Structure 1
Amino acid sequence: MIDRRSLLRTAGGAALAAPLLGSAACGTSAGGAQLAAGGQAASSGALPVSFVNESGYPDSAVRLYIVGTDPATGKQGRVRPDGTFAPVKLSDNTDGGYTDYSIPLTEAGGLTLPFMSGRIYLALEDKLRFKVVEDGAGNPALQYPAGWVESDPGFGVLHDTVEFTHDDTGMYCNTTMVDGFCVPLAIALSGEREQSTGRLKPGGRDMVFDAMLADPDYSPLVVGDRRRVIAPGHGIDSGRFSDTYYASYIDRVWSRYSGTDLRVTTNAGTFTGRVDGSGRLAFDGGVTPIEKPSTRDVFFCDGALAAPNDGVTGPVAAILGAAFNRSTLLDTAEHPVTDAGAFYNADVTNKYAGVFHEATEDGKAYGFAFDDVSGFASYIQDHAPASFEVSLTPF
């Protein structure tokens, strides 16, 4: 089931809501409420989480933040060092108008994750700035750092993030480069079996930056002296990347499927489409016709390629979004393509996403929103998790 959704964002670009990860399997998570550090009862489902620092930075330079949403109440909050979930409050803005939810890595021993959906941020050298604001209903909501926005106070801070959903069916987690890349991270789950993903090959971080700097279209996405690379979609919004980069490829795809059937197979069956007289890609089987996308639509898998969680149009749109980013639509009319050797071979392609797959040990990464199509995302899950580990891997 393809059901990953991107973050909701404010008009200013800052993330304002927790990510939603799919969790449709059955089973139970290991462990109920237990005593956390300091003797308080941790939240239901407390899952031990540990951190390994191989970054080359001292532990004293690393801060972590665990933020997200309590599924039982829908409230946004953060995890305290004792493993309990604390809803955010406007009065938390005590540090120059921002919160200080940081947990020093030196104080993270014995930390547990409650049932929640959210993110673990890891920052080096300096604090990240999270701000509590009021949402449209007047409720406290957390405004996340936007590392791709130059005016954001986190822009100059070395940081990266892991996404997760932990509930009574299990633990679902991934590393992500959807917004950008800075700190190389890896994750591991122990439970029903031992699993890990996200680790870069030796020299992998340099491989990413070398590839971006070598391409004149992508080199403006690199910030500072290899400090961060911003994802192309955000690069379009900030003027760093061309908003017509994919235009010629999109035109060729639309031309091809004006006279040739495109077949997309999902869990619900195979749907046949063709560009109709109104310029839309029209499928049989109740799929909502898809307008001709823009370059921004391709990189964000949004706009014309938005994938509603409806079980029909959503999966078709997600597969098309992946096919555009991987540039496979002119090679075959049968999708999804499952051979990684067929990805990113065209002159016009998402080279940002492609290099992460080259640079990771298992070939998996989350370089765009639907990189999970055909199982290529740096994602793992376990229905009876016993422990979770996040590693800051070598630079």
Structure 2
Amino acid sequence: MLSRRSFLGGVSAAALAVPALGGLVASPASALAGRRAPAVPLPLTIVNNSGQFDNASITVYIVGTNLDTGEQCRVTPDGELVPVSESDNGSDGFADYSIPLQSSGDTTLDLPSMSGRIYFALGDKLKFKVVTDGDGKPALQYPAGWVESDPNYQVLHDTVEFTLKADGMYCNTTMVDMFSVPLSIHLQGSADQTTGTVPAGGRERILNGVAEHPDFAQLRQDDLRVIAPGHGLDQGLFSDTYYDAYIDEVWTKYQSTQLRVDTDNGKVYTGQVSGDTFNFDGGVQPIGKPSTRDVLFCDGALAAPNDGVTGPVAAILGAGFNRSILLDSPDQPGTDPAGFYQHDITNHYSKVMHENTEDGKAYGFAFDDVAGFASYIQDGAPTSITVTLTPW
């Protein structure tokens, strides 16, 4: 089974390297036998049904990593994958990698094999900057819309994430960092799949829904976006002790109760708390007592190494904390969404995201794919992908 972790630990979009879809591994040869290869380049159709912006007001950016060379690249309007260069920076200090939409109707582009993001900017262009990384190689600085000092703060923008490679297409909408623009993905191939669709009026319900909770109110940045609570914490807009009482309750419960974790590799691990450590059998590394920040970013004590043992257990714990279900059952992961987010201390940001998608799926935190609740789809033989800016 493929492991997919989207931007683990709240990796900042302002980082110098493009984080690939986390933990993606190739399917075994037996699983690929007889399977048609993906269409490469893959036709990408962009549909503007926003009802708020005409095509002339929208620009697209496709940036990421060349899977063969590891170079950071961008896609040109004619579908060429080109390495980024500091010489791309213009007189204003920023690289213009924008791809305009057709003047009317849908826009079709060629998507090459790569791992990265498709950004959409509405009303103004995004400002990317090419710098030199620690190894002396060109690297991109990405928009960090949740940071008021970022040059893209005032620009309405959002993104989808994808990896297109020899064994298929893997893609998702994401709210791990923020939510601003309703986007939907339609992937066709061996199956016909759609995810991420926010019903009409859902954008305002999301912005209002997050802001109406007192602890989360400052996460709304006017009519631009709502930002994830982890980023809010780092910006001084969210309490760094929000989850502490719940974490303490979980730690107390499992000092005298065993937690059973059934991972997607078919193994069940049993753990119990001793002091500040959750100790599991089966070779799982001890997991320390997390902080509120660790829970929100699924990082620190809850970081999930791609080792097939500790990683899956840490991911399930991270999901259990965000969904606030660890006190409800000693058998994890929980699979009934009706039981998620019912505790007073919970990730209300993620809760609102899930409440406002047609399929109930969203990427509200980095481990939201645990038990299959992320707005993520994949296909081993894709023939086309359509990203729609859906009605506001």
Q: TM over 0.5, yes or no? A: yes
Matched-pair contact (CA < 8 Å) for 1:23–1:165: no
Classify the secondary structure of the residue corresponding to 1:14. Answer: coil
Matched-pair contact (CA < 8 Å) for 2:18–2:64: yes
Identify the residue that residue 29 of structure 1 maps to in structure 2. Answer: 37
- In the alignment of these two chains, the number of paired residues is 379
Q: Which amino acid aligns with 1:65?
A: Y
Identify the residue that residue 124 of structure 2 maps to in structure 1. Answer: 126
Classify the secondary structure of the residue corresponding to 2:120. Answer: strand
Structure 2, unmatched stretches of 5+, are none
* Distance apart, 1:106 and its partner CA: 2.1
Identify the residue that residue 355 of structure 2 maps to in structure 1. Answer: 358
Matched-pair contact (CA < 8 Å) for 1:7–1:18: no
Identify the residue that residue 183 of structure 2 maps to in structure 1. Answer: 185
Match of 1:48 among 43, 51, 67: 43
Matched-pair contact (CA < 8 Å) for 2:13–2:143: no
Structure 1, unmatched stretches of 5+, are 32-44
What pairs up with 1:260-275 in 2 under 5 angstroms?
A: 260-266=257-263, 267-275=265-273
Identify the residue that residue 140 of structure 1 maps to in structure 2. Answer: 138
* Distance apart, 1:69 and its partner CA: 0.4
Matched-pair contact (CA < 8 Å) for 1:13–1:149: no
Classify the secondary structure of the residue corresponding to 2:288. Answer: coil
Q: Distance in 1 between matches of 2:276 and 2:108?
A: 57
Identical positions, percent: 60
Classify the secondary structure of the residue corresponding to 1:123. Answer: strand
- TM-score normalised per structure 2: 0.94
Identify the residue that residue 70 of structure 1 maps to in structure 2. Answer: 66
Change beyond 3 A, Cα 1:362–1:115 = same
Q: Distance in 2 between matches of 1:285 and 1:23?
A: 23
Q: Distance in 2 between matches of 1:58 and 1:72?
A: 37
Identify the residue that residue 93 of structure 2 maps to in structure 1. Answer: 97
Q: Distance in 2 between matches of 1:30 and 1:272?
A: 40
Change beyond 3 A, Cα 1:129–1:28 = farther
Q: Distance in 2 between matches of 1:9 and 1:206?
A: 24
Change beyond 3 A, Cα 1:23–1:112 = farther
Q: Which amino acid aligns with 2:46?
A: F
Identify the residue that residue 286 of structure 2 maps to in structure 1. Answer: 289
Q: Distance in 2 between matches of 1:268 and 1:229?
A: 37
Identify the residue that residue 5 of structure 2 maps to in structure 1. Answer: 4
What per-residue deviation string (whole Å, max 9, x for no partner) do you get for residues 241-281 of structure 1? 000000000000000001110110111511111111x4200
Q: Distance in 2 between matches of 1:102 and 1:149?
A: 22
Classify the secondary structure of the residue corresponding to 2:293. Answer: helix
**Misfit runs of 4+, over 4 Å:** 7-10
Matched-pair contact (CA < 8 Å) for 1:282–1:290: yes
1:19 equivalent to 2:19? Answer yes
* Distance apart, 1:130 and its partner CA: 0.7
Match of 1:253 among 250, 258, 262: 250
Match of 1:167 among 148, 165, 168: 165
What pairs up with 1:229-244 in 2 under 5 angstroms?
A: 229-244=226-241
What pairs up with 1:146-161 in 2 under 5 angstroms?
A: 146-161=144-159
Match of 2:338 among 338, 341, 346: 341
Q: Which amino acid aligns with 1:260?
A: T
Classify the secondary structure of the residue corresponding to 1:106. Answer: coil
Q: Distance in 1 between matches of 2:199 and 2:389?
A: 13
* Distance apart, 1:30 and its partner CA: 3.3
Change beyond 3 A, Cα 1:75–1:369 = same
Match of 1:303 among 291, 300, 304: 300
Matched-pair contact (CA < 8 Å) for 1:47–1:388: yes
Classify the secondary structure of the residue corresponding to 1:173. Answer: strand
Classify the secondary structure of the residue corresponding to 2:316. Answer: helix
Q: Which amino acid aligns with 1:122?
A: F
Matched-pair contact (CA < 8 Å) for 1:146–1:155: yes
Classify the secondary structure of the residue corresponding to 1:257. Answer: helix
Q: Distance in 2 between matches of 1:80 and 1:269?
A: 45
Identify the residue that residue 84 of structure 2 maps to in structure 1. Answer: 88
What per-residue deviation string (whole Å, max 9, x for no partner) do you get for residues 183-222 of structure 1? 0100001111211000012321122122112111111000
Q: Distance in 2 between matches of 1:8 and 1:68?
A: 19
* Distance apart, 1:95 and its partner CA: 4.6
Identify the residue that residue 41 of structure 1 maps to in structure 2. Answer: none
What per-residue deviation string (whole Å, max 9, x for no partner) do you get for residues 44-90 of structure 1? x2010011101121100000000000101110010001101000001
Q: Distance in 1 between matches of 2:109 and 2:4?
A: 29
RMSD between superposed Cα atoms in Å: 1.6
* Distance apart, 1:24 and its partner CA: 3.2
- TM-score normalised per structure 1: 0.93
* Distance apart, 1:15 and its partner CA: 2.8
Identify the residue that residue 75 of structure 2 maps to in structure 1. Answer: 79
